[in-house]
Chain A
Amino acid sequence: MADGRFFSTTKKGEVAEYKNDLHSLDRKSQKNAVKRVIAAMTVGKDVSSLFPGTHNVVNCMQTEDMELKKLVYLYLINYAKTQPDLAIMAVNTFVKDTQDPNPLIRALAVRTMGCIRVDKITEYLCDPLQRCLKDEDPYVRKTAAVCVAKLYDISAEMVEDRGFLDVLRDMVGDANPMVVANAVAALAEIQASSSGPVFVIDGAVLTKLLRALNECSEWGQVFILDALAAYTPADSRDAEGIVERVAARLQHANGAVVLSAIKLILHAAKYIEDAGARAAIHKKLAPPLVTLLGAEPEIQYVALRNIDLIVQSVPGILSHEVKVFFCKYNDPIYVKTEKLEIMIKLADEKNIDQVLLELREYASEVDVDFVRKAVRAVGRCAISLEPAAERCVNVLLDLIQGRVSYVVQEAVVVLRDVFRRYPGRYERVIAPLCECLEALDEPEAKAAMVWIIGEYADRIDNADELLEQFLEGFPEESPGVQLALVTATVKLFLRKPSEKPQALIQLVLSYATQETDSPDLRDRAYIYWRLLSADPDAARDVVLAPRPVIEAAADGVDPALRAELLGELGSLASVLHRPAAAFTSAARLAVRRASQLGAGGVGVSRSTSTAADEAGGTAAGGSAGGSAAATPHVPTPPAPVPDLLGDLLDLGGADADAAAPAPTQAPTTHAAAGAPDVLDLLGGLSVSNGAVFGADAGRAAPGAASHLPVLLAAEAGKGLVIRGGVEREAGGQLAYQLHLENAGAGVPLDGFMIQLNKNGWGLVPQSQTIPVPRLAPGASASARVPLVQNPASATPALTPALQVAIKVSQLGVLYLADAVPLAALLREDGRTSPEAFVGEWQALPDAAEQARTLPLVIHAVPAAQASLEAARLFVMAHKSVPGAEVLYVTGAAGLPSGQRAQLLLELRFVPGQRGVATVFKAQETSLAPAAFDAVAAALS
């Protein structure tokens, strides 16, 4: 996309045209020219050259013409930063203007000076500001009040030294409400960036503010109401007084005023002792909240996000109003989504029928995303509202019968959660579910269905046939489905230990242990294998143990965070459902990451705490993703380890790649978070029982990502962490091993593509697509991208540098720099004959020779020879010279052209002593550093 076009303007040649006019003596054409300059400035054009002499600007400033003066001031605000001379020349005119008889000009001057952040100007600002703060005209005073906040941002000291803060505090008692409001706004602004108490509201201030409240502008009311929310009422009566005075604001047409008033009233109501009075106040809040839903969609959205918080904290406040949250078909999707959330929260036994009727209706709408959310909402109602679960399940059944693919898939996923909530209660649903297997093509839905089949294997007559159907495509399935299939097959076998299940389990376990690249899958298969072969009864006890019932989804926001957000009602934090600190400064993110890393202990306890963290993160809304996981306000109790284990064996697979299933709060039941930790746990087991697992288990899994270096950290990758490196696989195939982790993008990521810039080795990916599934926030996946060498993509210089571009649908293109290790390019057939070695060594000029002493220790020649040959560096000869051993080593790197670059090396060392004197000789001298690295890597 041509971003440049954002700033393109209409005509060229304009510039020259109005340059002339600017110098004109005619006021009118001068004015028109300045106007056009301003217009050009707004579209991003650099017009700073148009006032060639500062003289000209100042001349224009001194005009009596208000319009021209304003235009020039606008110009100055924009260019003072880049042309400080201009501003300094203008200072005298500014100062003069602050004493102009016309209050508009006085205010304009002081306002403009505050916007010009040039030291010289700031110095000159103080005296006029002092005067203007005491000006007789309220318009000038209110402008000066704001200017204090501007000055504080430039120089806090100056404000304090001059005593401007005291003046501002006095202005809170000004007779003019406009001045009061601006003084309050300025004080609040200063307070936000100051550590000490700047603005303390006591009884006296309260009285002044309440008096000004009724008379000032709507925006001023917002400032005052927000400031008052920091006041702690002295007693119950005081609080009641505030509520009474503020209640009239609830009818204001401006949504911002209404929300700020509600915040203040909720705050004050906490101090009212009489519960009846409190309830009466809460009741008063319902109509204004409902009224906000008649406003523009943008206002509605803010209101809905806030209502979401309010109904969680003050349940019952809108219990009779569920109807107003029914979606209108022309609501924007973001409004509909929020309304759904609130409908679920307001659903109770009385209105559930109405709510279900609505949700059922939404399921036939056109927008697929919304339909899915509606179906999910039915499931969530079932889980949170036990008496109505039956009715919800009926609606889901009805939806399944419609046979619309995405509806069925979504319904299957939520029904799995319904089964987890009410084990064994709705088995009648299973038969109709089994009829629509062919409709399932999404991994999450497939995994859910597989889980259901496994869980109810003994109630489904043809469970073995159904699983067999799924198993036919096992190798092509996504990892989540594969994991679910392994578990389900084991359950089937344990529930029906007959011939066919036995055949199935052998099939699936042998595939999962031998043919797959996925360490998760293989490890899980090994666990089952071992369990089953060691003690089938124990296996039954573990695998078929009663599952913890998932709790009613306490949707969304954690209570502690909610309490904090409620205090920030109407603010951005309350809309994003994230604490202000999480988004007001990007720097905070890195700090929290670091502290999170340090927080981990060792071994099992460490992995558990991370798991709990992650569970909390997912529960906190999914949308916040990785960053929410780090929220310090989410106190999640560490999950007991045995639970976690039991859960993994059972369910981990069902959820492993689920984006964010029904947000289940209880960390103990959140399987997705459990999975990696238990694998860690059993990693230790596998070492001590090497015999059982065979040599295979000891080998590092090719997909294991931990050894890969981080190529792009989350900060640089917009939340995506990329690890990877070029490796040579058995058979000589080159591949880019990648491990992608969605650590903080906040949205699911997909559509991963890779491209390599021209590079020394001419490497290009065979396919640009990176084969990883959609990555939900917090999820990660490994992938290999096979590479081939193409001379057309090679740069003349044989350098290891590799520039990689990775494209993600949601993040755009990410660039990163990597280096190709020489080891990856060394060919299996790199051997030459000793004669050829000697001949070539002698043929090469001295210039082709480089030497370096590597800080290595070689103890014995045979071991070193084995290590080198494993890295495809072949030992041609071994010679013992007095006081040292010498190895002659060769290797051949494949060039893009298909030819080989033969490397000749001489390694001279004393066994057991540090230091290997290495001499490199080859036509391609540029490979020397890489060759030294390859030797060092092979021998260390």
Chain B
Amino acid sequence: MADTLFGYSIPFPTYDLYVAITAVALYIPSIILTTPEAFGRRVQASRAAGSDLPPAVGIDGVQYLHVKVGDLLWVATTRVNLSPSLVSELLLRITVICRDYFGQVTEECVRRNLPLVYELLDEVMDYGFPQNSSTERLKQFIAIQPQAARSLPPGVTGVAGGEAFDRPAEVIKSVLDTSRTGPVKDEIFVDIVERLTATFDATGRQKSSSITGAVQIKSYLSGNPPIQLGLNEDLIIRGREGGPASHASSDAVVLETCSLHQAVDPRRLDTDRVLELVPPNGHFAAMNYRSTRSFRPPFRVYPLMEDDAVAPDKLTLYVRLRAEFPPSKTATGVELRLPLPRSVQRVHVETDGARPATLGLPSKTHFAQGAEWVERDRVLVWNLKHLRGSQEHTLRARLTVDAGSVEAVKRDYGPITVQFVLPGKPSASGLDVRYMKILKQEKNYNPARWFRVVAVANSYQIRPHWL
């Protein structure tokens, strides 16, 4: 963790903004004599305690509001009763703008671009009033050139957690590139990122489920032509007009709620189920939505705790993990965590090799998996780097428990949680972008278009004691 902290602050009587960078945070004293050190100490204290600092913290009459993006804390301070969600949204937006301008938001990038950060913030807000937060419209006011970061970070992760794997061109470039000369190609990325929440009982039955999704766009199109994204024609959005009549088929895609980016024309969505917009350059979510339709779970987990025939203080735990999606898809970063109660003394874990669940050719790729017992957190962690569809794996753990606590262990282990990133169509909610039109009156204009669907686990839990 870097100890060097720097800061940037805009001294506004209404509130100060600190861009807090890196491991801890960074700041600068300004007109209001706030003491960033006090906040820094609070951050460190809560980190030491292993808990999360609430987004609004009052210290000595100053309220510190922060958001955490990656390793960076972005902090604003105020003494007045303003809207914290406005500040949080603004801070988050500033991180997005910075990402749009420097390509990525890391400590190094921000440090190298401090004057540009200054200039951006100066435009984004005036006297603490947010003004112009659109990457696109900011371009005309920004004079300072961005500096590229010297090195790429090893793993770029984004808010959605969906960017941690290979993709066509992980773009680390500035939106300003489109308006400047050089061999920069026009391209647009459209992602449907869905975060899945599901709870299963011991038998693998899905007890509850919901999907939080977003249609995310990264646009690097010069000249900002309007685009159209055609969604499913039978899409039903509750609380909105249009779409098929309510007696539509039961497999229609249903969204409980949805919210739209400012650039999206809501009327076109209501009438034709088309997202029509003039995409500003940079990252943004064209549509956020929520669906409570039950989806086909991509993974099923069957835990089983067996008594030992011989030893009265031993148990054998089997965890069967089945990939329920078709073999054409491969999940990455699969991690299963299973907490065990305190009366478990020792754990011996073993995993199997690759073995297709159904009959067929053995898998060619020998994939990496590993399991370990993390004594400190009392949790069994099972990692599978890749998991092809239809495969099944079993983890076997021999537990040695305190005398007489066998029943208690059987009753109190879990809940099991699974993390994963699963790219590929169809999306869990069924939402799809059927086509993308770029409405530009130029014959040879054919920018690269990237489209993908990703499902990531939000809270994917198996509760072994539920029946």
Contact status B84-A329, CB under 8 Å: no
Contact status A586-B378, CB under 8 Å: no
| CB-CB contacts below 8 Å: A396-450 with B | 401-404
12 additional A-B residue pairs with CB within 8 Å, beyond A38-B114, A192-B80: A6-B7, A10-B4, A178-B131, A252-B262, A294-B288, A296-B67, A299-B85, A302-B88, A366-B339, A401-B408, A573-B81, A583-B81
Size bin of chain A's contact surface: 35 or more
Contact status B290-A571, CB under 8 Å: no
Q: List 23 A-B contacts (CB under 8 A).
A: A5-B3, A6-B7, A8-B4, A8-B5, A9-B6, A42-B8, A70-B119, A70-B143, A115-B11, A143-B126, A189-B127, A189-B129, A217-B133, A218-B262, A251-B258, A255-B88, A291-B258, A291-B290, A299-B92, A334-B53, A570-B85, A571-B82, A572-B56
A842 within 8 A of B: no
Interface window among B309-317, B446-454, B457-465:
B457-465
Q: 1/0 contact trace for A23-67 toward B, CB 8 Å?
A: 000000000001100110011100000000000000000000011
Q: Across the interface, which residues of B come within 8 angstroms of A323, CB to CB?
A: 208
B442 within 8 A of A: no
3 residue pairs, one from A and one from B, having the closest CB atoms: A328-B459, A586-B61, A219-B130
Also in contact, A7 and B6, with CB within 8 A (given A584-B80, A584-B81, A586-B61): yes
B115 within 8 A of A: yes
B14 within 8 A of A: yes
Q: 1/0 contact trace for B401-416 toward A, CB 8 Å?
A: 0000000100111110
- State how many angstroms separate the Cβ of B213 from the closest Cβ of chain A: 9
Q: Across the interface, which residues of A come within 8 angstroms of B285, CB to CB?
A: 253
Query: Which of A294, A332, A357, A573 is packed against the most chain B CB atoms within 10 Å?
Result: A294
Interface window among A146-154, A504-512, A628-636, A703-711:
A146-154
Which residue numbers of A lie inside 8 Å of B, CB to CB? Answer: 1, 3, 5-10, 34-35, 38-39, 42-44, 66-67, 70-71, 74, 77, 104, 111, 114-115, 142-143, 146-147, 149-150, 153, 178, 182, 185-186, 189, 192, 217-219, 222-223, 226, 248, 251-256, 258-260, 287-288, 290-291, 294-299, 301-303, 323-324, 326, 328-334, 357, 361, 364-367, 369, 401-404, 568, 570-573, 575-576, 580, 583-586, 718, 812
Q: Across the interface, which residues of B come within 8 angstroms of A330, CB to CB?
A: 417, 458-459
Also in contact, A6 and B27, with CB within 8 A (given A38-B118, A71-B144, A361-B415): yes
User: Could you say which of B41, B111, B118, B262 contacts A812, with CB atoms under 8 Å apart?
Assistant: B41
Also in contact, A586 and B127, with CB within 8 A (given A222-B86, A334-B52, A404-B341): no
**How far apart are the CA atoms of A142 and B125 in the complex, in Å?**
12
Also in contact, A39 and B114, with CB within 8 A (given A74-B122, A253-B259): yes
Q: Across the interface, which residues of A come within 8 angstroms of B197, CB to CB?
A: 328
B72 within 8 A of A: no
CB-nearest residue of chain A to B125: A219
**How far apart are the CA atoms of A150 and B11 in the complex, in Å?**
12
User: Could you say which of B44, B88, B114, B195 contacts A298, with CB atoms under 8 Å apart?
Assistant: B88
Also in contact, A287 and B129, with CB within 8 A (given A1-B41, A253-B285, A253-B288): no
Which residue numbers of B lie inside 8 Å of A, CB to CB? Answer: 3-9, 11, 13-14, 26-29, 36-37, 40-41, 44, 50-56, 58, 60-61, 63, 66-68, 78-86, 88-92, 111, 114-115, 117-119, 122, 126-127, 129-134, 141, 143-145, 159, 195, 197, 208, 210, 212, 238-239, 256-262, 266, 285, 288, 290, 339, 341-342, 377-379, 408, 411-415, 417, 458-459, 461, 463, 465-466
- State how many angstroms separate the Cβ of A368 from the closest Cβ of chain B: 10
Contact status B341-A580, CB under 8 Å: no
Query: Which of B68, B79, B88, B288 is packed against the most chain A CB atoms within 10 Å?
Result: B88
Q: Across the interface, which residues of B come within 8 angstroms of A331, CB to CB?
A: 459
**How far apart are the CA atoms of A192 and B119 in the complex, in Å?**
29
Also in contact, A71 and B85, with CB within 8 A (given A142-B131, A332-B52, A364-B339): no
Q: Across the interface, which residues of A come within 8 angstroms of B8, CB to CB?
A: 42
Q: Across the interface, which residues of B come within 8 angstroms of A367, CB to CB?
A: 50-51
Contact status A255-B27, CB under 8 Å: no
- State how many angstroms separate the Cβ of A98 from the closest Cβ of chain B: 16
Q: Across the interface, which residues of A come within 8 angstroms of B7, CB to CB?
A: 6-7, 42-44
- State how many angstroms separate the Cβ of A267 from the closest Cβ of chain B: 15
CB-nearest residue of chain A to B68: A298
Also in contact, A42 and B114, with CB within 8 A (given A329-B461, A366-B339): yes
Contact status A571-B81, CB under 8 Å: yes
**How far apart are the CA atoms of A364 and B340 in the complex, in Å?**
9
Q: Across the interface, which residues of A come within 8 angstroms of B86, CB to CB?
A: 219, 222, 256, 570
Contact status B118-A74, CB under 8 Å: yes
CB-nearest residue of chain A to B159: A296
- State how many angstroms separate the Cβ of A398 from the closest Cβ of chain B: 9
Also in contact, A146 and B257, with CB within 8 A (given A298-B67, A572-B82): no
CB-nearest residue of chain B to A578: B58
Contact status B88-A67, CB under 8 Å: no
Q: Across the interface, which residues of B come within 8 angstroms of A288, CB to CB?
A: 257, 259
Contact status B114-A366, CB under 8 Å: no
CB-nearest residue of chain B to A260: B83
Also in contact, A254 and B89, with CB within 8 A (given A222-B83, A291-B259, A333-B52): yes
Also in contact, A253 and B463, with CB within 8 A (given A42-B8, A586-B61): no
**How far apart are the CA atoms of A403 and B342 in the complex, in Å?**
10
**How far apart are the CA atoms of A570 and B56 in the complex, in Å?**
13
**How far apart are the CA atoms of A189 and B408 in the complex, in Å?**
61
**How far apart are the CA atoms of A570 and B210 in the complex, in Å?**
26
**How far apart are the CA atoms of A226 and B129 in the complex, in Å?**
14
- State how many angstroms separate the Cβ of A333 from the closest Cβ of chain B: 5
Q: Across the interface, which residues of A come within 8 angstroms of B90, CB to CB?
A: 219, 256
Contact status B26-A403, CB under 8 Å: no
Contact status B257-A572, CB under 8 Å: no
CB-nearest residue of chain A to B118: A74
Contact status B262-A251, CB under 8 Å: no
User: Could you say which of B9, B14, B266, B379 contacts A366, with CB atoms under 8 Å apart?
Assistant: B379
Contact status B58-A576, CB under 8 Å: yes
Q: Across the interface, which residues of A come within 8 angstroms of B144, CB to CB?
A: 35, 67, 70-71
Q: Across the interface, which residues of B come within 8 angstroms of A328, CB to CB?
A: 197, 458-459
Contact status B412-A570, CB under 8 Å: no
Contact status A333-B89, CB under 8 Å: no
Also in contact, A571 and B84, with CB within 8 A (given A219-B129, A291-B290): yes
**How far apart are the CA atoms of A150 and B414 in the complex, in Å?**
57
Q: Across the interface, which residues of B come within 8 angstroms of A71, CB to CB?
A: 115, 144
- State how many angstroms separate the Cβ of A99 from the closest Cβ of chain B: 20
- State how many angstroms separate the Cβ of A390 from the closest Cβ of chain B: 20
Contact status A298-B55, CB under 8 Å: yes
**How far apart are the CA atoms of A248 and B143 in the complex, in Å?**
36
Contact status B408-A43, CB under 8 Å: no
Q: Across the interface, which residues of B come within 8 angstroms of A570, CB to CB?
A: 83-86
Contact status A301-B143, CB under 8 Å: no
**How far apart are the CA atoms of A76 and B417 in the complex, in Å?**
54
Also in contact, A6 and B5, with CB within 8 A (given A42-B118, A294-B212, A357-B466): yes
**How far apart are the CA atoms of A326 and B55 in the complex, in Å?**
20
- State how many angstroms separate the Cβ of A256 from the closest Cβ of chain B: 4
User: Could you say which of A114, A254, A290, A357 contacts B290, with CB atoms under 8 Å apart?
Assistant: A290
